Amino acid sequence: MPTKHRPASSWPGRPLRQSAATTQRTATAASQPPAPDADPSVRLSKRMAELGLASRRVADEWIERGWVLLDGVPAVLGTKVAAHLPAARIVIRKAAQHQQASQVTILLHKPVGYVSAQAEHGYTPAAALIKAETRWSECDAPMSFSRTHLRHLAVAGRLDIDSTGLLVLTQDGRIARQLIGEDSAIEKEYLVRVSLADTPARDKSDEDVQAAFPESRLALLRHGLALDGQPLRPAQVEWINPQQLRFVLREGKKRQIRRMCELVGLRVTGLKRVRMGQVRLGALPPGQWRYLRDDERF
């Protein structure tokens, strides 16, 4: 009876033959590094801040108190989650919601001579002006002033010591992120008095800066300048009178307007912030403050 031959590839112990192309593909795949994780993990508090639920500091505090549920289970401090975790998987307990609702935001008309945040070089921080006797008489927020409103009060958008105008201080990390977060697009409006950098001081009082300032340099202020090696976002810049410009920015680099003006041959002699988003300085007197009302939004 003739012997039946099995295919060579099915013989026990004999390796399968591969084509040269297959061998090359296998070798190439083996030499490639593993694909990076498409959705790397981040701390839960960081993701909560990105979603606008709370600042990272506050989120960590809530997690530590057991006020944050992740997929229905109390989260643990330091928990890592997917970088694109949807908000629907995070539940904030009512205790945290009540605490958040009690957080205040204060609008201060900062005078010249005060620093925005921590005291430096002997200068007084603007927060020192926030006390019961300096509250604006026309502030119509229903709450009474409390020393607890000064706790964890952070400046959201600084003004340098030589500048005046609207300064926002808040306990609410969501508002701080909205105003100064990396992806913030909130408009900030300034009135800026200028002179020509090469004009002697004695000749500045009646100087017609607008007439002497080239239109091409005004166009540069609107778009085309860079600071710290980074191009600036487009800005709205226009003349209000022969010595004063109106700036509307969507970013806030350190001393940005002063440095922009220096690049085009102008010197800033006065700078006042009059608006942040939809909130205006209005008639708030220098050195006085008021609470942000519940019906106001930046």
- Provide the annotated active-site residues: 160
Q: Nearest CA to 186 among 202, 174, 171, 200? A: 174
Cα 151 to Cα 171: distance, rounded to the nearest angstrom = 7
Cα 118 to Cα 164: distance, rounded to the nearest angstrom = 17
Q: Angle at CA 224, nearest 5°, toward 220 and 225?
A: 85
Please classify residue 112 by burial: count the beta carbons closer than 10 Å to its beta carbon, then call 0-12 exposed, 13-18 middle and 19+ buried.
middle
Q: Are 194 and 242 in contact (CB under 8 A)?
A: no
Q: Nearest CA to 251 among 226, 281, 279? A: 226
Q: Are 239 and 245 in contact (CB under 8 A)?
A: yes
Cα 38 to Cα 40: distance, rounded to the nearest angstrom = 6
- Three-state DSSP class for 102? coil
For residue 290, what are the β-bridge partners? Answer: 107
